[in-house]
Structure 1
Amino acid sequence: MTTLETRTYHHGDLRRVLIEEGLELARAGGPDAVTLREVTRAVGVSPNAAYRHFADRQDLVRAVAADSQNALAKAIAARVEATPADLSPAAASVERLRRIGLAYIQFAREERGWFELAFAVQDEEPSVGIVTLDDEVVAPFQLLLDALDGMVAAGALNAARRPAAEWACWSAVHGFADIAVHGPLQWQPPPVIDALAAAVVEAAITGVRGTDAPV
């Protein structure tokens, strides 16, 4: 047993160390880079040590994906928390949804590996209409649900238009993010992508609300 393996077992944090190494691998190479062989090699422990914490590679990938989702949620939350305080409740609720979309796209562009991994795995049989991992709603998706519910509460979104609105928003924003990262937009100057991202997010908001009238 290596010195690091002894130390991590002593402190009970080898699982955490392996996940963090998986995050570093995913950040550079996406989901395919996260393997038990590579994380144990990088950490300096035997593969058998990893199997005491993860049943197989998929188990490891799920754990790393959960952290990737949390990183995305943190980036979104930071942008949402910066919503101007002088807006009306209705305008603020719309602005929060706008910021969620823009933060999602920005994260995809800045953290491609984590973005690719974040939704590479999820529960195969969740409750209808939600996205879960290990029976918990994934954090970025919960932020979107909360923002849309907040719009209804603030009078910025008709309750009749609320059902499935998260899927319309997510489809538009995720589709654009994928095009920006992997498609023809990846070669465009950042200001061009920024402008197009803003247009897509506005279109998604307009489509969900059913109006382009100001709040």
Structure 2
Amino acid sequence: MALSLILFDCDGVLVDSEIISAKVDASLLKELGYEISANEIAERFAGLTQDRILELLTAEAGIRFPEDYAERQRVELDRRLAAEITPIAGVHEMLDRLDLPRAICSNSSSERLKIVLEPTKLWDRFRPYVYASREVGTKRPKPAPDVYLYGCRQFETAPRETIVLEDSVHGVAAAVAAGCRVVGFTGGQHSYDGHGHALAEAGAETVIRRLSEFPGVVEAFSNWEAA
């Protein structure tokens, strides 16, 4: 089945932001007496909203977060992202090779998306088709499929004619649940041993490590029937 649309996750796919977020979280959690490495945070929580991460840590570890914790985390992460964000290697060259309509479907806020996309010169390559899951449609974040379904609707494209590039288990699960074709990506600094296997287990039909591989996968998927 020919493809008609490409939907990208943003963090860890277009920009190398997941590792920065994980380092911020690890540092702030250490201040609360909870030791966890940035790599473990990336492995377990990449792709989830900060609210969901706090819910999980509260349930699992009984951490009592101060009332200002979420705001402190937001301010510090925005500061670090503005100072340190870099594009994933080869992202612009990849986009130059793709002819299909494209959009971003992310769990980040539109404000944060602008923080990471503008300095990496990606904002103008996608706007106005940049969708923050908690600000569009049903406002349910991944792993719910809603933001991917919303993206498909904006282009009047069936999910099975849509290919998604995702780096997190939760994001892959969202795209699979939406009925899209899904490619996993393990080229960000936050990648971990077993990352590709985890994405495949979540439903990615194939996994790539370099963005330069993606245009060829898009072409191949247009000629492959879904497994």
> TM-score, normalised to structure 2's length?
0.29
Name the structure where helix makes up a greater proportion of residues.
1
Higher strand proportion, which one? 2
Tell me: higher relative CO, structure 1 or 2? Use CA pairs within 8 A at least 6 residues apart.
2
Larger radius of gyration: 1
Q: TM-score, normalising length from structure 1?
A: 0.30
